[in-house]
Chains A and B, each alone.
Chain A
Amino acid sequence: MTKIGLEIHCQLTKLESKLFCSCKADYREFEPNTNICPVCMGIPGSLPLLNKSAVEKATLIAMALDCKTPGKIAFFRKNYFYPDLPKNFQITQLNAYGNTSIGWEGRILVEDKQIKIRRIQLEEDPGRLIYEGATEKTKLTLVDYNRAGTPLVEIVTDPDFETPHQVREFLNILSDLLENLNVSDPGLEGAMRADANVSIEGGSKVEIKNIGSFHDLEKAVHFEITRQHSLAERKIEIIQETRHWDDRRKITVSARTKEEEAEYRYHLEADIPWVRINDNTKNQLRAQMPESISSKKERYISKYDITPQVAGILASDRYFSELFEKANNETNAKDVANMITTDIMGLLDTREKREISKLEAGHLSDLAECVKSNKITRASAKLALDEIIKNGKPLSQIIEVLDLGHLSDESTLSDIISQVLNEEVKAAEDAKQNPETVNFLVGKVMQKTHGKADPELTLTLLKKNLDIE
C-alpha cells in the first residue's frame, strides 16, 4: 500500500510583525536586508520577544484542524549551522518532552477520507539564500535576512494519503481553510511550502524536499511512487533517503550529500517563558473563529436554496464569500450568487486583479436589483460589472454612460424586430415551421440592441409577429 505524509510550512502573513521582534511579517516589499533588527539578526545580547498574536493565530489553526491544544506552550532551540540562520539555531517547538507545541492529534476530512494531523508547531522562518550568477567555479551565495523571523506554522500529517490526487485535494482544502481563518494569504509567493514523504509496500520511507508549488508536489509524489514501483518490480531495494525535486527535469534526485542522522541538540529556549493558554483564552479564540467553510456551504444551501456546487465555490473562497454575504439581502441571494460564480469569478480570478478592483458589495446588490426589476438585462449587467471593476462608479451612472438602460418600449422594439425579420427571411420561415428556432432571432435582436432588449418582451413580440405559439 502506498503511504504519503506531508510536512507543510505556512507563514502567518496576516500578522503585523515577525515572531520575535517588531520587524514586518510582510517582508516582500523590502530591499534586501532592510527589514531587520538586532533580534532577527541575532546580534549579541538581543533577546527574542514573543509575538502573542502569532500564538493566537496558530492556535486558531490548531482548533480548525480539530487538534488537541495544550494548557501552556514552550519553545525549543533546534541547533544547526546554515548561512540563512542568523543565530545558527532556530526557535521552534518540540513534543519530545510532553506536548507543548501549539497543537497535536488533529484531523481533516479529504474526499471522505480522514487525514490525521500529527502536530502543529510555531517557529521562525530562516532568511533566504540567493545564488547569484553561480557557476561551478565561482559560486556567489547571497543572504537576505528580511524573511528571518517570519512567523511560520509547521503542520505535520500522518502518512494517511494514498494517492497524489488526495495530496493535492488536501492542500487545496488546507489553503482555503487558512485563508478563511484570516491567518495567511497562501497565494503569496513562498507563503505555503510543503515536503512529502512517500513509501510503498515493503519499501523504506523517502523524503522529497525543495518543491516549489502544489502542482509540482502532486507531480513529484506521482513520480516518486512510479520510481519506487519500478525499483520494486526489479527487486531493487528502496533505501531510506532524502530526494530533491528537480523542477527542470521533473524528476526526484537523491540529495547529493548523504544526510546523516540529524543532530539538533534540542533544548528549552529560556529567553521565552512558557505561555499559558487557559480555557478562557481558548473559549475567546473559539468565539472569534470565523465560520468554517463546510458550515458556510451548508448554510448557503439550506438558507438560500443555492445549488451545492455554487455554494461550495462561494464558501471556499474568502473573497467571494465575503462579497456574497455583504451583497445579498436574502431575496436576491440566488441572483447574487450566480453573478459571482458566472461573471465575477472570470473577471477577478487572481489576487492582483482583486487588489486593484473597485467593485463593492453595494454594486452587486444594485445590479441584482436592476436585473430583477427588468431595468437592465443580464447581458448588460456583465458589461456594467466590467466597468465597475475598473472605476467603481455607482451603477446608475454606469448605466447612463454606457447606455445600458433596458429597451422595453414596445414600438421601438417592434421596429427593430421588423428590421431583423426583413434581414433574416430564411430564419423567420424556419421559426414558423419549427418554433424552437425562434431563439436565433431573439439573439439577432439582442445583437442589434447591444443586449439591451428585454428578452421576454422580444420573444412575445416575435412570436406575435410570426404568428407562432
Chain B
Amino acid sequence: MDLGISALSYVNSIKNAEFTVEEFISKSLERINQVDEKLHAFLRVNDLVIKNAREIDTKIKSNQNVGKCYGMPISVKDNICIEGSKTTCASKVLENFVAPYTSTVISKLNSEDAIIIGKTNLDEFAMGFSTEFSAYGPSRNPWNTDYVPGGSSGGSGVSVSANECIASLGSDTGGSIRNPASFCSVVGLKPTYGLVSRYGLVSYANSIEQIGPLTKTVEDSAFLLNIISGIDSNDNTTVDNKNQDYLNNIDAGISGKKIGIVTEMTNSEGLSTDVLNATNDAVKTFEKLGANCEQVSLQMIPYTVAAYYTITSTEAGSNLARYDNIRYGYEFDSSGFEFNSYISQARSKLGPEVIRRMILGGFVPSAGHAGKYFLKALKVKSKLIAEINHVFEKFDFLISSTVPIQPFKFGEKIQDPVSLMMVDFNTVTANLTGIPAISVPYKITNGLPIGIQIMANCLEEHSLLQAAYALEKTVDLPKVPV
C-alpha cells in the first residue's frame, strides 16, 4: 500500500477494493507514530479514526451511499474548530479551549465521509512563516529536518508531504498555505476571499484570510475545493461557487493564455539565485506549453509587505483582544489586580510574535497615528486592487516564485523579524486583493523544494487550476526522503 497516493487515486483504490478504509487509516496512524516524533506535524491525533474507518467500510460493503472522500485521512490546521475537541491555535492561551461548534469546512468534509485524522501545528495564531512561533515547538521539514517547513500552516504542509495523510486544510492570511506548500513540495491553494466559509476559523486578520487545501496534486486541490467552497449562511462574506466542478477539463492546457511575470517579484532584493533560476525555467516551461509570457510591473508591490503588516496587526489587535484571561487562559491569581493591569499581565504570556503584532496593532490604527500608518495601508490596498484589476484586463495569470528563498534553518531568521517579514513578499498581494493563488512544486535544489506561484483574477479558480495542472504535468520530482 502506497501512503503517498493522491486523493483521487485513493478513491479509485477504495472503489476497486484494493484495500479497506481501516487498512489505510491504520497504516497512516503507523506512519504518524513512526515519523511524527521527529517531524511534529500534529498537535493531536484523533483517536476515533479507526472507529470512523470501520463505519465507512460498513457503508461501502453494504452498498449504502458513501461520501466523495471514502474515508480518506485529512489533517486540519489547529485554528479550525471541531465541536467537542481542542482548538489551540498553537497558543498557551487556548490550551484548554474546546470548541462548542463545528466549522463549516469540517461539516462539509464530514458529510462527504472524510476522516479528520488530527490537528496540525502552526505558528501561534497563524502569525509566522516557520512554525517556530508555535507554543508547542516547531514542525520539521521532511526534506531536511534541520530546516523549517514554512508556515504558518507548517504542520499541514509536513503532514501531506511526509505522507502522514492524504490532504490537509490550512488557512492563508499572507501566504500561510502557499509558503509551507512551497517549502514542503506540496500543492497549496488560497481561494478567492469569500469562496470558502471562514465560520469556525479562529480569526487573525479577518478581512483577507481564507481556508484552503494543501494536497499532493493539483487535481486533489480541485477535488477538495469542490467540497468546501460555496455560500454559507453562517458567514456573510461568502460568495457563490455557482456549482462549478473545478475538476472538469482540468487538463484543458494553457495554450494561447497570457501570463504576466511580475517584475517586482523577480528582481526583489531578497530573491535567491536558485529561486530566480527556477522561476525563469518555469516561464520557459509555460511558453513551451503555448502560453505567452511577458514582464508586467505592479508599482504598489514594494509597499505591500508594510501595508500587509499594518492591516493584519490592526485586525489582530482587535481579534485577539478577547483572550483576556477571563474566559480563556491560564491558572492565574487575579487578586490585587485592577481590571486593566490584570489582563495586561495575563496577556504578557502570549508568544513573542503575537505580542509584537498586538503592540503594532495598538499603535498603527490609534487616533494620533492612523493617518500616517493604518489609513495609508488601506490606500495601498485599494491602489493595489485597482492595479490588479487593470492587469487582469490584459493577462490571464500572474506568476512568480511562491517564496523568494528556499527553506531556511531553524533559528536563522527568528532573531530578525524584518527579514522574516520579507519571506512573504510574493504571497501577500493575493491576500490584500482577494485574488486566488496557488503554489505548485517545481524543483528540488540542494535537496530543498522550490514552488512556483500562479495567481488569477477573483473567482477564476477553474482556469487557475488548469494552469497549475499544466505546469505540474511537466515536472517529475524525487520522493520525499523521510
Contacts and interface: CB of A to CB of B under 8 A. Distances in A.
* Interface size, B (range): 35 or more
B464 interface: no
Contacts of A42: 322
A270 B210 CA distance: 13
Chain A at the B interface: SS class: loop
Given A265-B317, A270-B237, A83 B101 contact: no
Nearest to A48: B236
A81 B237 contact: no
Interface string A242-272: 0000000000000000000101111110111
Interface string B314-336: 11011001101011100000000
A267 B318 contact: yes
B224 interface: no
Contact of A266 (B101, B199, B315, B365): B365
A89 B374 contact: no
B202 A44 contact: yes
Contacts of B317: 79, 265
A368 to B, nearest CB: 52
Interface stretch (B44-52, B92-100, B135-143, B284-292): B92-100
B362 A273 contact: no
Contacts of A50: 236
Interface string A60-85: 00000000000000000101010100
Contacts of B202: 44-45
Contacts, number: 92
B87 interface: yes
B297 interface: no
Interface residues of A, number: 29
A272 B321 contact: no
Nearest to A20: B236
Given A38-B100, A81-B321, A88-B324, A267 B365 contact: yes
Nearest to A271: B206
A88 B367 CA distance: 18
A46 B199 contact: yes
Contacts of B81: 44-45
Given A45-B99, A265-B362, A83 B339 contact: yes
Interface string B234-256: 11110000000000000000000
Most chain B CB within 10 A, of A38, A42, A268, is at A38
Contacts of B199: 45-47
A89 B318 contact: yes
A87 to B, nearest CB: 5
Given A265-B314, A265-B362, A270-B207, A47 B236 contact: yes
A263 B366 contact: yes
B339 A267 contact: no
Given A45-B201, A267-B315, A271-B237, 8 more contacts: A38-B101, A42-B322, A43-B100, A45-B99, A45-B202, A81-B321, A270-B207, A272-B236
- Which 6 pairs across A and B sit closest by C-beta, in order of nearness? A270-B207, A88-B321, A44-B202, A45-B200, A265-B365, A45-B81
